[in-house]
Structure 1
Amino acid sequence: MTTDGRPAIIVAATPTPNGDLHVGHLAGPYLAADVCARYLRASGREVIYTTCTDDSQSYVVTTARRRGVPPEQLCRTSAAQIQQCLDALGVSMAGLPPIDERYRQTVLSFVGALHDAGRFRLRTVRLPYAVRAGAFLYDGLLSGVCPVCLAGSSGGACEDCGHPNNFDELLDARSTLDPEDPVEYREQDILVLPLEEYRDRLTDYFAARTPSWRPRARRLIAELLARPLPDVPVTVPGTWGIPAPFAETPGQVLYPWIEAMPAVMHSTSWSAERTGEPEGAADRHWLAGAEPLLVYFHGFDNVFHWGLVDLVMLMAHGDRYALPSYNVSNEFYDLDGEKFSTGRNHLVRGIDLLSKVPRDLVRFYLALSGPECQRTNYTEADMHEVVTRRLCEPWNRLAAATDRLSARAGSAALPTGPAGRRRAASVAERLRQCYEPANFSAGLAAQTVSSQLVRLCAQAESADPGSLGDLYLEVRTLLAHAAPILVDAAAELTATGQDLSLTGAADQEITPFRMPRLPTTTDSAHWQADRRPAASPAHDEAGNDR
């Protein structure tokens, strides 16, 4: 089990409420963060797994305009869809907190303290301006070519290479809402957060932390540190978002990415209060004195913001806040060899898949095939074949074998031996290494569960009466460590009285028990997800995992 007893705050990337979640989103931060949170709880930690919708993002405006609905209505509808999908996946968070007046006051208090402390700088910058619309363009309102990798990109940051492109940096800039609207550059005074002023502290932090990061995220940070760090907007001349309360920038709104840190502080506090904790200061769980274990899960396209900008937002408060301990990023998940795309109706909505396929099977496949260090691919045929071969068949074969053995052994407790306890401890340690945030890999955990099922099948089918205690101990150990992924099977086992916590020592004796069966299918049509035009944003439309 984990030896660090600090309370943990697990943060999944804040989803943009411009649609529901598709399978690519689920295979990214939301399932991975849930598996990590469940493991840490079973290991004896206090855990808050949280996120909240990112209502101020400009992608809400572009999607609402395209659909002909008010942005406020889109946020409400999308938040409900996102919550429904997370619930269907079995995500163990308290829910999505309301983006209400309490949220806005938390944001304003956080950024107001930085403004009062002189952490922002007033800069005159050149911003793209849509002439006919009479509007400044940034982030989702803007499209063009990344100046670093030359891929097509929205404003703010390039999802292909991860580099930022604020202000006038994006090449061939055009309006997303009206590509024919002429774009020119106009100067504006805005407040910025100067990342370069934090270089020394950032260098020390990354030297200590990035060795545990995934390769491409680690490479991006090295690339960013190899050049002058950019200024990041704190305010922008826009109309959607929280009005900026600063005298220097009248009529502007807070840049949506500046909300991220106080946003998750708000959602952390709200989530804690849903479990019975009394209401208190929104940032109380993030204070340095609370010593939380902070773990972020997000897509690679958010490394610049979650890995660097949000870190500086914490550092800018001096020593008030704890800094993230681990940062787990994921790559894109393709569908039939191509990027998920709402515009081309090339997607599988999460809620559609989960309404047709039992969620334990969905969770196992997405964990096993998820895009941890490189892009991976989802196909319905592969899901059917892999889940049947690597999970359902060996699981149910083991369940049948242990049923036969328990019928012979009866209900008396069976002794375990040193060899069985050593094997159980070895499996537990192997899976512990998969789940610990320092080297987290749900894919390796799912692969380990699969291989151990095959081993235990063979062991059960050739077991002699004197080794049954060892067999049942090893089976229960595997089931307990598979529980963060296979949540419904774990719940069924727990309901029969099995202890699946990961905090105890190996038992000297064990009572035979029945494994629950996993549902199976031999009809691939059962796995077909509905591909009707969906309200789910795809990665090429800014993605919900931003």
Structure 2
Amino acid sequence: MSKQFNFPKEKNYLLVPEMPTPNGRMHLGHLAGPYLKMDILRRKAERGGGKAFVVSGSDVFESYVELKASQLGIGTEDVCNKFHPQIIKDLEALKIHFDFFLNPLDEQWRARFFKREKELMQQLTDAGVVEEREEDLIYDPVNERFLNGCWIKGTCPNCGSGTGSYLCETCGTHYRPSDIFDAATYPDARVIKGTALYLKLDTKKLFDKVEKMEINSVFADILKRYVELQGPYIRLTTPQATGVEWEWGADKKQVLFTYSALLFFSVFCGDICKEQFDLPIHPFDAASDFTTIASFGIDNAIPYLAGVLAGGMELPGLKAFDYYLSNHFYYLNGEKFSTSRIHVIWGSDIVHLAQVQPDVVRYYLARQNPELEKKNFDVSEFITVVNEELFVRYNNVLKEAFAVLPQLPGEAPDDKWCAALQSLIAEQNSFLNPPGFNLADALHPVDEWMDRFDGWDAAERKLYAYWWLKGFALLAYPFMPDISTALWNRLSDETELTIDHFFSGNKIVRQPVEDILFKEVSYTQMEKCLPESIKVNP
């Protein structure tokens, strides 16, 4: 029997990154947050022989779609259909894989999506956790619309920052539009007494769940502050022009509040996963063995911690998300990424215009990731890291290993050698398993593997070069899939890069090493994808 590593069986996952608004493309600030980490987790799971399905889609009823439609002079569906494929292109450029990335307005999904959202809303209503609450609605008679979402701006009632819509991007506070309304700013507006539907939060059950999930304390505090300010309720409906309509009485009709309805969208993603992959049970079924995980940024803390999590615990027969992966804001050269100010680097542009390898972008974003605090993509630092760490250090070790490859792979290393690699994989896995998820720490075993080769003498290098290279492919794969896969294909007949296949399919294909090396990055390259706001004379 061939040698094998001893790892516990990987879990089955349904990964649902937050649904982006299709009013623009995806920049590195988006990609470094909810999306890259889910792809890395997926690759880690599949490397271990598990299943990890990634399903999400565009939040087509987020109100900023209406604003973009107004700016472009086209319909809201046209906006969604314009930017949805561009979002996919930016994701794909950095090798961020989705099994399905849905546009709910596509004919393939539209009727089912609307029906499912209404079914789930009815289930919450039948569970007795939906309440009608009075509130001030702000109406603009000039433009004939309610001032909420993208159409209202004011001051955050918590931190005093300028804000708009329903969520403060500085402190994460969620509020009612009336909380930030200033009559002096909107002199034509009228305050109308109205009602909306809210989910009544079981705060004890909710906070117990938050504690069990070991959610980042900063995010847990945002939830506590929200309940103190707004009470134990989260919005379920709002008077908006676009959305899934919901009636609950005579002359009482609004649309489902898209932020809280991310719960319904998530369950719909589970529906598609069960159907398309012929699963015996729904991933959100209470009896399912799937581990369900959502990822989101600090500006969506309350929708996910209150609406999605609390609502998920009330849907009969289903379970709430098992884990959350959250992140703070990402900055670009010291200022927050901003689509409106065009202070961005688009995902596709850094790869296709600047001709930077996706692997090196992923490496830097993982190393400089905003999981625990806000972080900064510094262009000069990025170039230095790529050129000094990857182009010089990593390439030198890879070239040295290839230079001493034997004619044949040879016998598998002894148990002590294998135990060292297994220990590093286990360490990496520990940082890629929630709740202890930490991308930067998960990169350390890759660096340690590099150090190990550097520490060997000439005889050890020649003896272990083949197995060291194969080990590098395993450790680097979640972060740097292109180079890892190219390397694996040189060393194995096994098409799947998995831990179980490490000792099998051994071969050595001797070709030039350029396609498994990291390429140098220059400022001249980067300038092709940089916004005017940070371009400088090199």
Q: Same-fold call, TM > 0.5?
A: yes
Answer yes or no: is 1:427 the counterpart of 2:424. Answer: yes
Aligned 8 A contact 1:469 1:510 in 2: no
Higher mean C-alpha deviation, range 491-500 or range 292-301:
491-500
Structure 1 residues 184-238: Cα deviation after superposition (integer angstroms, max 9, x where no partner): 421112222122xx1121132123222xx33422332343456663422222222
Partner in structure 1 of residue 252 of structure 2: 250
In structure 2, which of residues 120, 124, 127 is the aligned counterpart of residue 117 of structure 1? 127
In structure 2, which of residues 283, 291, 315 is the aligned counterpart of residue 285 of structure 1? 283
Deviation at residue 268 of structure 1 after TM alignment: 3.2
**AA matched with 2:459:** D
**AA matched with 1:220:** I
Q: Distance in 2 between matches of 1:205 and 1:119?
A: 17
Answer yes or no: is 1:204 the counterpart of 2:208. Answer: yes
Partner in structure 2 of residue 543 of structure 1: none
Q: Distance in 2 between matches of 1:470 and 1:509?
A: 17
Secondary structure at 1:156 match in 2 = coil
Q: Distance in 1 between matches of 2:20 and 2:292?
A: 19
Answer yes or no: is 1:14 the counterpart of 2:19. Answer: yes
**AA matched with 2:93:** A
Q: Distance in 2 between matches of 1:529 and 1:333?
A: 21
Deviation at residue 468 of structure 1 after TM alignment: 4.3
**AA matched with 1:310:** V
In structure 2, which of residues 454, 461, 466 is the aligned counterpart of residue 458 of structure 1? 454
Answer yes or no: is 1:485 the counterpart of 2:491. Answer: no
Structure 1 residues 378-425: Cα deviation after superposition (integer angstroms, max 9, x where no partner): 13322111112122322221221112211xx32151341343223212
Secondary structure at 1:169 match in 2 = helix
| Identity level (%) | 22
Partner in structure 1 of residue 220 of structure 2: 218
Partner in structure 1 of residue 536 of structure 2: none
Q: Distance in 2 between matches of 1:229 and 1:220?
A: 13
Deviation at residue 344 of structure 1 after TM alignment: 2.6
Partner in structure 2 of residue 376 of structure 1: 375
Partner in structure 1 of residue 243 of structure 2: 241
Aligned 8 A contact 1:395 1:517 in 2: no
**AA matched with 1:463:** A
Partner in structure 2 of residue 126 of structure 1: 136
Give the 5 Å matches for 1:294-305.
294-305=292-303
CA change 1:193–1:146 in 2 (3 A) is same
Partner in structure 2 of residue 396 of structure 1: 395
In structure 2, which of residues 179, 182, 204 is the aligned counterpart of residue 169 of structure 1? 179
**AA matched with 1:277:** D
Aligned 8 A contact 1:191 1:249 in 2: no
Secondary structure at 2:364 match in 1 = helix
Partner in structure 1 of residue 193 of structure 2: 187
CA change 1:36–1:374 in 2 (3 A) is same
CA change 1:251–1:527 in 2 (3 A) is same
Q: Distance in 2 between matches of 1:173 and 1:54?
A: 30
Give the 5 Å matches for 1:491-530.
491-496=485-490, 498=492, 501-504=497-500, 517-521=516-520, 523-530=522-529
**AA matched with 2:178:** D
Aligned 8 A contact 2:283 2:292 in 1: no
Aligned 8 A contact 1:414 1:468 in 2: no
Partner in structure 2 of residue 263 of structure 1: 265
Q: Distance in 2 between matches of 1:55 and 1:181?
A: 30
Q: Distance in 2 between matches of 1:5 and 1:35?
A: 14
**AA matched with 2:397:** L
Q: Distance in 1 between matches of 2:85 and 2:35?
A: 16
Aligned 8 A contact 1:127 1:168 in 2: yes
Higher mean C-alpha deviation, range 92-101 or range 240-249:
240-249
Q: Distance in 2 between matches of 1:527 and 1:260?
A: 36
Aligned 8 A contact 2:262 2:308 in 1: yes
Partner in structure 1 of residue 3 of structure 2: none
**AA matched with 1:352:** D
Aligned 8 A contact 2:236 2:261 in 1: no
Q: Distance in 1 between matches of 2:127 and 2:415?
A: 61
Aligned 8 A contact 1:417 1:470 in 2: no
Structure 1 residues 346-391: Cα deviation after superposition (integer angstroms, max 9, x where no partner): 2111111121211111111111112121111113322111112122
Structure 1 residues 73-107: Cα deviation after superposition (integer angstroms, max 9, x where no partner): 11101101011111222112123223111111111
What do you get for the CA RMSD once the two structures are aligned?
Answer: 2.8
**AA matched with 1:232:** I
Aligned 8 A contact 2:297 2:327 in 1: yes
Structure 2 portions without partners, runs of 5+: 1-5, 105-109, 534-538
Secondary structure at 2:248 match in 1 = coil
Higher mean C-alpha deviation, range 48-57 or range 289-298:
289-298
Q: Distance in 2 between matches of 1:238 and 1:505?
A: 53
Structure 1 residues 27-84: Cα deviation after superposition (integer angstroms, max 9, x where no partner): 1111111101111122222211111110011111112212222111111011010111
Q: Distance in 2 between matches of 1:255 and 1:421?
A: 53
Secondary structure at 2:143 match in 1 = coil
Partner in structure 2 of residue 26 of structure 1: 31
Higher mean C-alpha deviation, range 443-452 or range 509-518:
509-518
CA change 1:43–1:333 in 2 (3 A) is same
Q: Aligned pair count?
A: 516
Partner in structure 1 of residue 58 of structure 2: 53
Q: Distance in 1 between matches of 2:505 and 2:87?
A: 45
After superposing on structure 2, the runs of 4+ consecutive aligned residues of structure 1 that deviate more than 6 Å are 508-515
Structure 1 portions without partners, runs of 5+: 535-546
Aligned 8 A contact 1:12 1:298 in 2: yes
Aligned 8 A contact 1:120 1:193 in 2: yes
Secondary structure at 2:196 match in 1 = strand
Secondary structure at 1:9 match in 2 = strand
Partner in structure 2 of residue 71 of structure 1: 76
Q: Distance in 2 between matches of 1:76 and 1:533?
A: 28
Higher mean C-alpha deviation, range 491-500 or range 16-25:
491-500
Aligned 8 A contact 1:146 1:171 in 2: no
In structure 2, which of residues 84, 94, 115 is the aligned counterpart of residue 105 of structure 1? 115
Partner in structure 2 of residue 317 of structure 1: 315
Aligned 8 A contact 1:428 1:477 in 2: no
CA change 1:495–1:249 in 2 (3 A) is farther
Q: Distance in 1 between matches of 2:458 and 2:323?
A: 43
Higher mean C-alpha deviation, range 27-36 or range 138-147:
138-147
Q: Distance in 1 between matches of 2:415 and 2:478?
A: 27
Aligned 8 A contact 2:486 2:516 in 1: no
Aligned 8 A contact 1:421 1:506 in 2: no
Aligned 8 A contact 2:351 2:357 in 1: yes
**AA matched with 1:106:** R
Q: Distance in 2 between matches of 1:468 and 1:420?
A: 14
Aligned 8 A contact 2:386 2:520 in 1: no
Aligned 8 A contact 2:134 2:194 in 1: yes
Aligned 8 A contact 2:312 2:321 in 1: no
CA change 1:256–1:420 in 2 (3 A) is same
Deviation at residue 531 of structure 1 after TM alignment: 4.5
Q: Distance in 2 between matches of 1:91 and 1:249?
A: 45
Partner in structure 1 of residue 107 of structure 2: none
CA change 1:228–1:258 in 2 (3 A) is closer
Deviation at residue 9 of structure 1 after TM alignment: 0.9
**AA matched with 2:216:** R
Deviation at residue 270 of structure 1 after TM alignment: 2.7
